[in-house]
C-alpha cells in the first residue's frame, strides 16, 4: 500500500498501536517505509496476514486512510520477495538502530527525514532515501532468546522498533557517495542520540541492516562481546577470518572499553 506523505501522522500512529499490541505473537506483520526519491516523499506500508485472513484486523486502519495504491493480493512469500527486489547496479549504504515504539520517536524521525531530504535537494545530491520501521516485540524474543548471545534479555527492555535507514545512489552518481554518506550518518546519529536520551533505549544493532562502522557485537553487551572475542581467538588463532576474508561484520573491530 502506498500513501501520500500528508497522511504520515495517521499511518505512524496506527503503526505504533500495532507495534505495542503484539503481545505473545501474531499471524500478522507490518512494516512502514518512508521514501524520498526524485525530490518527492511517499509512504509505503507492507501489511501482511501470514495465515491468509483477508479480513485481518491488521488491514482495518487502512480502510480509513486514503491510499494512492492498494496492491494487496494473496501470494507466496517468494513472489512477494521477487516483486520488491531490485536489479542491482547501484551504490547502497545503510544503518540500523533499535528505537522506542512511541509517537515521540516517530515524530523525531520524521523531523530528521524532512530535514535530510531538504538538505539533499538544496545541495543537488541525488541520493534516494528509505527509513524502514518494523516492530520488535520483547516478549516473544525474551522467551525464545534467554541467555542468547544477542543479549536481548538485557538490552531490549520493552517492545521496540527495528529501524533501518538506507541511501541509494545510481552507479552514474557514485561521485556523491562521500558527502551523501556523511549526511546520512549525521542524521542517524541525531536519531540515536535522541533515543539514548529517553527511557527504555536499546543499544541493540541488527547485523543484517548495520553499517560496517557500527559496532554490532558491542551492542550485544560487554559480556557477550568478550565471549565472542575469546571464541574467535580460540578457533581462529591466526585471525584468518578476521583479516584475510573480506566483507561481513568482524569481531576484531569490536571495542570492549
- Over residues 15-30, the pLDDT tens digits come to 898 888 776 566 677 8
Q: Distances from the Cα of 224 to the Cαs of 7, 35, 65, 209, 251, in angstroms?
A: 42, 35, 44, 20, 11
For a pLDDT cut of 70, what percent of the chain falls above it?
A: 81
pLDDT at position 149: 86
For each of the domains in the chain, give its residue range(s) and CATH number, in order of start: 2-209 (3.40.462.20), 224-253 (no CATH)
What dihedral do alpha carbons 164, 102, 45, 139 form, nearest 10°? 80
Asked if residue 163 lies in contact with residue 204, where contact means CB atoms within 8 angstroms, the answer is no
pLDDT at 89 over 70: no
pLDDT at 3 over 90: no
- The continuous run of DSSP H or E covering 73 comes out as none
Q: 134 pLDDT band (50/70/90 cuts)?
A: very high
Could you read off the pLDDT of 32-87 as tens digits, one per residue?
Answer: 999 999 889 999 888 776 766 666 676 767 777 777 766 666 666 666 666 555 56
pLDDT at 143 over 60: no
Tell me which residue has cell 521514501. 35
* Average model confidence (pLDDT) across the chain: 85
| Own/partner long-range contacts of 211-219 (Cβ < 8 Å, ≥24 apart) | 211/93, 211/94, 211/95, 211/96, 211/185, 212/249, 213/185, 214/95, 214/96, 215/253, 215/254, 215/255, 216/249, 216/254, 217/249, 217/251, 217/254, 218/254, 218/255, 218/256, 219/151, 219/155
Mean pLDDT of 128-134: 95
Asked if residue 194 lies in contact with residue 98, where contact means CB atoms within 8 angstroms, the answer is no
pLDDT at position 242: 87
From 173, 257, 254, 165, select the one nearest 211 (Cα to Cα). 165
Sheet holding 28-37, edge to edge: 2-4, 40-49, 28-37, 128-136, 160-170, 90-100
Q: What is the pTM of this model?
A: 0.86
pLDDT at 201 over 90: yes
Lowest mean pLDDT among 137-141, 187-191, 211-215, 228-232: 137-141
pLDDT at 141 over 60: no
pLDDT at 142 over 60: no
pLDDT at position 23: 63
pLDDT at 98 over 90: yes
pLDDT at position 178: 94
pLDDT at position 256: 72
Amino acid at each position: 500500500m502506498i500513501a501520500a506523505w500528508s497522511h504520515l501522522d495517521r499511518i505512524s500512529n496506527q503503526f505504533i498501536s500495532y507495534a505495542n499490541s503484539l503481545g505473545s505473537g501474531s499471524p500478522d506483520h507490518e512494516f512502514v517505509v518512508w521514501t524520498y526519491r526524485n525530490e518527492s516523499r511517499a509512504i509505503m506500508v507492507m501489511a501482511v496476514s501470514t495465515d491468509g485472513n483477508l479480513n485481518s484486523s491488521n488491514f482495518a486502519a487502512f480502510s480509513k486512510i486514503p491510499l494512492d495504491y492498494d496492491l494487496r493480493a494473496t501470494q507466496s512469500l517468494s513472489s512477494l520477495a521477487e516483486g520488491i527486489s531490485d536489479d542491482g547496479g547501484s551504490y547502497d549504504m545503510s544503518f540500523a538502530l533499535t528505537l522506542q515504539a512511541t509517537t515521540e520517536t516517530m515524530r523525531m524521525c520524521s523531523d530528521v527525514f524532512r530535514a535530510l531530504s531538504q538538505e539533499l535537494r538544496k545541495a543537488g545530491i541525488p541520493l534516494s532515501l528509505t527509513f524502514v520501521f518494523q516492530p520488535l516485540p520483547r516478549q516473544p524474543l525474551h522467551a525464545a532468546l534467554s541467555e542468547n548471545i544477542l543479549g536481548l534479555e538485557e538490552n531490549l527492555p520493552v517492545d521496540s522498533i527495528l529501524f533501518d535507514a538506507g541511501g541509494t545512489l545510481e552507479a552514474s552518481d557514485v561521485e556523491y557517495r562521500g558527502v551523501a554518506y556523511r549526511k546520512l550518518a549525521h542524521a542517524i546519529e541525531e536519531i540515536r542520540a535522541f533515543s539514548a536520551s529517553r527511557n527504555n533505549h536499546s543499544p541493540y544493532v541488527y547485523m543484517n541492516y548495520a553499517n560496517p562502522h557500527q559496532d554490532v557485537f558491542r551492542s550485544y553487551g560487554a559480556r557477550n562481546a568478550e565471549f565472542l572475542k575469546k571464541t574467535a581467538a580460540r578457533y581462529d588463532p591466526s585471525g584468518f577470518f578476521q583479516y584475510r576474508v573480506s566483507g561481513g561484520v568482524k569481531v576484531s573491530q569490536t571495542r570492549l572499553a
